[in-house]
Amino acid sequence: MFKEFKEFAMKGSLLDLAIGFIMGGAFGKIVSSLVNDIIMPPIGLLLGKVDFASLYINLSGKPYASLAEAKAAGAATINYGLFLNVFIDFLIVALVMFLLIKQVNKLRRKPAEAPAVPTTKECPFCFSVIPIKAVRCPACTSQLKP
């Protein structure tokens, strides 16, 4: 079992997986910053200066001025604004992954095979199939033009 794991690790598959995992984490941070710092503020401004990250439903019954205050007090809240940000993160990552995989698949497609070069021909005298390089038919012994 150790030998199989060693072969797997040395193939590069494990290394490729580790690099993909690290790059995915870094990409996720970039997308989160894009959503939280660039996309959502203008949308919030257009919708009446709304900060989506602070949108919540208070389930405790006591009024709180902000989400941070409710969390500090340990109140039960439904943080739908944060969920909306994470959902937009997911949509952007899914779109980018779709486009990336689509391009990789396009590059992986094998080019169309060239038409096969004929290796045989037909004798014009006896109509038997002979090699293309033949200068005499083996069936009727006719002399063929090269």
Q: Which domains does the chain have, with CATH numbers?
A: 2-108 (1.10.1200.120), 117-146 (no CATH)
Q: Which two tokens stand for residue 105?
A: 């698949």
Predicted pLDDT of residue 9: 67
The model's pTM: 0.55
Bridge partners, 136 (sequence order): 143
Task: Give 99-108 pLDDT, tens digit per residue.
Answer: 888 888 888 7
Predicted pLDDT of residue 129: 92
- Which one is predicted more confidently, 113 or 136? 136
Predicted pLDDT of residue 12: 65
Task: Give 26-41 pLDDT, tens digit per residue.
Answer: 888 888 888 888 888 8
| In the predicted structure, residue 15 carries a pLDDT above the cut 80 | no
Pick from 79, 50, 44: nearest CA to 64: 79
Task: Give 38-96 pLDDT, tens digit per residue.
Answer: 888 888 888 888 778 888 888 888 888 888 898 899 889 999 888 988 888 888 888 88
Predicted pLDDT of residue 19: 81
| In the predicted structure, residue 25 carries a pLDDT above the cut 80 | yes
Three-class HEC string of the chain: CHHHHHHHHHHCHHHHHHHHHHHHHHHHHHHHHHHHHHHHHHHHHHCCCCCHHHCCEECCCCCCCCHHHHHHCCCCEECHHHHHHHHHHHHHHHHHHHHHHHHHHHHHCCCCCCCCCCCEEECCCCCCEEECCCCECCCCCCECCC
Nearest-10 Cα torsion for 86, 91, 94, 95: -150
Q: Which two tokens stand for residue 35?
A: 């959503």
Give yes or no for a contact between 40 and 24, defined as CB atoms under 8 angstroms apart.
no
Distance CA 102, CA 53 (A): 33
